[in-house]
């Protein structure tokens, strides 16, 4: 799916861009509420259009990753312009933070560093919750949380939860930099999944100092135990076969 198809060639963005540029230069604060309302209406309409198209797709054609990318593009397409215009109009800090926090919650990537810029520590719970989803913005959330002064333990736990998302590779890289061995168990469980991240998971397990045995999936461990059992039985049977003729050949046995 292409974004211009999702937007149904909506000419409203071009009109809104022109209006934003003009209003931003006028400098009349009375323009702030209608400008925010126009932005909200436009975003809601295009997100609804995406949802309608996604619902029509067959399950085999759907992808959470692609859906998230489309939403991100819609949210970020004119976010810079709306922020610039509102700042030039002298919007109060809390209102601007609220707008960008809402944009982040709906899927924006560009609004994340803006929350950091405005020092919005109240957005930390939201960013932690979004990080747990394990989407395309895992790195963005981690960087913002660190700069906003979130508790390292909370960030670590959110990244562990993010392993259940679909941006596992990025999450693995981040957990590898933490150096916390508590991640070994959750990462090892990835070895049981069909996801093609086994090589990355084993590399991070090694980076965290996991032993050779801890770098093996349950299936591999079972195979090792079964192999050891089969080998042990074969050795036992071989020893018994050799022992009988050896026993008969001993002098004390012949006497």
Residues 155 and 235 placed together within one structural domain of the fold: no
Cα distances from 72 to residues 119, 215, 236, 244, in angstroms, run 22, 36, 64, 76
Residues 76 and 127 placed together within one structural domain of the fold: no
Residues 138 and 56 placed together within one structural domain of the fold: no
Residues 66 and 134 placed together within one structural domain of the fold: no
Domain C-terminal end among 118, 141, 166: 118
Q: 247: domain range? A: 225-255
Structural domain count of the chain: 3
Residues 81 and 3 placed together within one structural domain of the fold: yes
Q: pLDDT for 82-134, tens place per residue?
A: 898 888 888 999 999 999 999 999 999 999 999 999 999 999 999 999 999 99
Residue 169: name the closest of 197, 141, 132 by CA.
197
Domain C-terminal end among 92, 118, 144: 118
Query: CA angle 79-85-86, nearest 5°?
Result: 90
Residues 131 and 53 placed together within one structural domain of the fold: no
Residues 88 and 77 placed together within one structural domain of the fold: yes
pLDDT classification of 3: cutoffs 50, 70, 90: very low
**Percent share of the chain, pLDDT over 70:** 73
Q: pLDDT for 28-72, tens place per residue?
A: 788 888 888 888 888 888 788 777 766 665 555 456 667 777 788
Residues 212 and 243 placed together within one structural domain of the fold: no
Residue 128: name the closest of 109, 112, 142, 148 by CA.
142
Residues 130 and 191 placed together within one structural domain of the fold: yes
Long-range contacts of 156-162 (CB under 8 A, 24+ apart): 156/180, 156/182, 156/183, 158/128, 158/129, 158/131, 158/132, 159/131, 159/183, 160/186, 161/131, 161/132, 161/134, 162/131, 162/132, 162/133, 162/134, 162/138
Domain C-terminal end among 99, 118, 137: 118
Residues 154 and 173 placed together within one structural domain of the fold: yes
């Amino acid at each position: 799916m292409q974004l211009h198809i999702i937007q149904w060639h909506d000419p409203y963005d071009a009109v809104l861009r022109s209006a934003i540029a003009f209003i931003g230069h006028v400098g009349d604060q009375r323009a702030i509420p209608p400008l925010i309302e126009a932005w909200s209406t436009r975003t809601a309409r295009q997100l609804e259009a995406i949802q309608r198209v996604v619902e029509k797709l067959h399950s085999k054609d759907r992808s959470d990753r692609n859906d998230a990318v489309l939403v991100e593009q819609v949210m970020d397409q004119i976010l810079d312009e709306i922020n610039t215009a509102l700042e030039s109009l002298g919007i109060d800090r809390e209102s601007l933070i609220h707008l960008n926090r809402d944009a982040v919650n709906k899927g924006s990537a560009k609004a994340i560093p803006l929350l950091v810029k405005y020092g919005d520590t109240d957005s930390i719970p939201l960013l932690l919750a979004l990080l747990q989803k394990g989407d395309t913005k895992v790195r963005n959330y981690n960087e913002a949380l660190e700069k906003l002064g979130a508790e390292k333990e909370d960030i670590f736990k959110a990244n562990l939860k993010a392993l259940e998302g679909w941006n596992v590779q990025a999450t693995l890289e981040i957990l590898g930099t933490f150096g916390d061995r508590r991640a070994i168990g959750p990462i090892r469980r990835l070895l049981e999944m069909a996801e093609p991240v086994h090589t990355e998971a084993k590399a991070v397990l090694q980076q965290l100092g996991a032993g050779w045995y801890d770098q093996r999936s349950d299936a591999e461990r079972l195979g090792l135990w079964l192999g050891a059992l089969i080998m042990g039985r074969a050795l036992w049977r071989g020893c018994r076969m050799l022992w009988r003729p050896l026993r008969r050949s001993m002098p004390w046995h012949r006497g």
